[in-house]
Amino acid sequence: MQTLHNPIGLYEKAMPPMPWDVRFKIMNQVGYDCFELSIDNLRIERLDWKSERVNEIRQCAGENGLRLFSMNLSAHRHFPLGSTNAAISSKAVDIMKKAVDFSYEIGIRVIQLAGYDVYTEEASTQKTKELFIRNLRQGVEYASEAGVMLALEPVDLDFITKCEHAMEYVDLISSAWLQVYPDMANIAAAGHDVVSDLFYAYGHMVAVHVKDGTDRVVRGVPLGEGIVPFEAVFKYLNTIHFKGPYIIEMWGENDHDYEHNIRCALAFTRRHLDIAKNTVSS
């Protein structure tokens, strides 16, 4: 039986700021298939870009053989969906709806939502959880009308730290347009067994972040130097026939050697995909 190709993508912040045509050309030359756009608190204004600018980026990606697959919507750290401040939670919903409109126009399929009800400015309570659910439900309804997928990512604060937690909200809201976007490092860094936890998201994973980490550290750990059991994780995902994109999340915005590092990360991911496939087939 022929094994289908798993697309491998790259997070925007893995490379320094540069013109879109240069970025996409380098990614194409290195061998990436797709791209994950960042919408953090410093990039929220992108959601108000005019159609001409959005179309220019989409065309530029296409000319370089890249799919604009996903959006990392980390702006909700600063404007959390579960905030008890009505102005902040209202802004959070507005950001989410604008993200859906932007994704629909540019062709992005998946918006990754960080699994926070609130971030560091406020303690998580039953009230913030209820607000999170209410506002998330609004976002899912809006996204379903546009045919854009929302996907919860387990994160580094004690709210949604693993797929098992994320599935509670997927099951509660019960929409085809809300799924799970696991991050290997986030799950491991929170102290969970990655393979066992991925089982809970079986049939609901739209993509997987390839990243390494250590105990409570989810950034800046080179692939293979942390605690993520990559061979076991890739073997499990291959066993369940996961064919979605693997998106490499790394940070190289101030890295002069970024091209070497994104090449190494791609080779690392391909090698583990091959190991997993060969292990199962043997």
Give the rounded percent of residues in the chain with a pLDDT score beyond 90.
Answer: 94
Residues 155-202: pLDDT tens digits? Answer: 987 899 999 999 999 999 999 999 999 999 999 999 999 999 999 999
Provide the greatest CA pair distance for the chain.
57
Residues 6+ apart with CB under 8 A from 45: none
| Helical segments of 115-208, H only | 126-146, 163-173, 184-189, 194-198
Going by pLDDT thresholds of 50, 70 and 90, the confidence category of residue 281 is low
Do residues 252 and 14 make contact, with C-beta atoms less than 8 angstroms apart?
yes
Do residues 75 and 88 make contact, with C-beta atoms less than 8 angstroms apart?
no
User: What does the domain layout of the chain look like in residue ranges?
Assistant: 8-281
Q: What is the pLDDT of residue 2?
A: 40
The H or E element containing residue 101 is helix 86-106
The H or E element containing residue 280 is helix 258-281
Using alpha carbons only, give the angle 160, 164, 167 rounded to the nearest 5 degrees. Answer: 85
- CATH fold for the domain made of 8-281: TIM Barrel (3.20.20)
DSSP letter at 24 equals H
Rounded average pLDDT over 63-82: 96
Q: What is the pLDDT of residue 156?
A: 82
Cα 102 from Cα 85, distance rounded (Å) = 26
Q: Write the DSSP assignment of 178-200 as a string of letters.
A: EEE--BHHHHHHTT--HHHHHGG
Using alpha carbons only, give the angle 91, 97, 204 rounded to the nearest 5 degrees. Answer: 115
Residues 207-254: pLDDT tens digits? Answer: 999 999 999 999 999 999 999 999 999 999 999 999 999 999 999 999
Residues 6+ apart with CB under 8 A from 52: none
